[in-house]
A and B are shown apart, each in its own frame.
Chain A
Amino acid sequence: MLKELFLKFGYTEDEYERIRNSYSIKNYHDETLVIKFNEITNYLISVGYDKNDIIRTGKILPQIFGLSVSNISKKIVDMMSLGYTRDEVVEISKSFPKIFSYTAETNKKQIDVIESYSYTKKQALKLIKASPRILANAETYIEAKIKNITSLGFSRDDVIKMSKAYPILFRLSFKHIKNSFEGIMKLGYSFEGTIKIGREYPQIFGFNGDKLNEKINELVDLGYTREDVLRITKSSPSILGLNIDSIKTKIEEIRSIGYSREEVLEITRVSPPIYTYSTTSMMKKVHGIINLGYTREEVLDMTISLPSIYGFNIENIKEKVEFYDSIGMHDLLVVNTKNLMQSVALSYARYKFYLSLGINISMDNYEKLFISNKVFEKLYGIKKEELLNRYSYEEYIESKEKVKK
Chain B
Amino acid sequence: MDELFDLGLSDETLKNMIELNPLIMKLSNEEVLDKINLLKSINCSSNQISNIIGSNSMLLTRSNTDIIKLINYLNGLGFSSLNILFDSNPYILNLDIFEVNNYIEDRISNGELLEDIIDDLDSNTYLFNEI
Using CB atoms, name the residue of chain A closest to B51.
Answer: A316
Does A311 lie within 8 Å of B55, measured CB to CB? yes
> Does A47 lie at the interface of the complex (its beta carbon under 8 Å from any beta carbon of B)?
no
List residues of chain A with CB within 8 A of the CB of B8: 315
State whether B55 touches A312 (Cβ < 8 A): yes
Q: Which of A96-104, A206-214, A341-349 contacts B (4 or more CB under 8 A)?
A: A341-349
Task: Name the CB-closest residue of A to B86.
Answer: A343
| Total A residues in contact with B, Cβ cutoff 8 Å | 47
Residues 80-96 (chain B) with a chain A CB within 8 angstroms: 80-81, 84-85, 87-91, 94, 96
Asked if A345 and B63 make an inter-chain contact with CB atoms under 8 angstroms apart, the answer reads no
Distance in angstroms from B11 CB to nearest chain A CB is 11
**Other-chain residue from A276, A277, A306 in contact with B126 (beta carbon distance below 8 A):** A306
Q: Which residues of B contact A372 (CB under 8 A)?
A: 119-120, 122-124
Report whether B19 and A281 are in contact in the complex, using a CB–CB cutoff of 8 Å.
Answer: yes
Max chain B C-beta neighbours (<10 A), residue from A155, A288, A316, A374: A316
For the complex, would chain A's binding face be called helix, strand, loop or mixed by DSSP majority? helix
**Cβ of B75 < 8 Å from any Cβ of A?**
no
Closest beta carbon of chain B to A158's beta carbon, Å: 7
A-contact 0/1 string along B26-45, CB 8 Å cutoff: 10100000000000000001
List residues of A (109-128) whose CB comes within 8 Å of B's CBs. Answer: 120, 123
A261-300, CB < 8 A from B: 270-271, 273, 276-278, 281, 284-285, 288
Which chain B residues numbered 30 to 76 have a C-beta less than 8 Å away from chain A? 45, 47-48, 50-51, 54-56, 58, 61, 63, 65
Residues A341 and B89 in contact, CB atoms below 8 Å apart: yes
Dominant SS among interface residues on chain B: helix
A397 proximal to B (CB < 8 A): yes
B15 at interface, CB cutoff 8 A? yes
- Cβ–Cβ contact A308 & B126, under 8 A: yes
A230 CB to closest chain B CB (Å) equals: 12
Pick from A277, A312, A342, A371: contact of B19, CB under 8 Å: A277
Q: For A277, what are the chain B residues with a Cβ–Cβ distance below 8 Å?
A: 16, 19-20
Min CB distance, A284 to chain B, in Å?
6
Counting from the closest, the 5 A-B pairs by CB-CB distance are: A313-B54, A372-B123, A192-B98, A374-B119, A343-B87
A residues near B (Cβ < 8 Å) are 120, 123, 155, 157-158, 161, 165, 190, 192, 196, 235, 270-271, 273, 276-278, 281, 284-285, 288, 306, 308, 311-316, 319, 338, 341-343, 345-346, 370-374, 383-385, 388, 394, 397
Q: Which B residues form the contact surface with A (CB < 8 A)?
A: 8-10, 12-13, 15-16, 19-20, 23, 26, 28, 45, 47-48, 50-51, 54-56, 58, 61, 63, 65, 80-81, 84-85, 87-91, 94, 96, 98-99, 115-116, 119-120, 122-126, 129-130
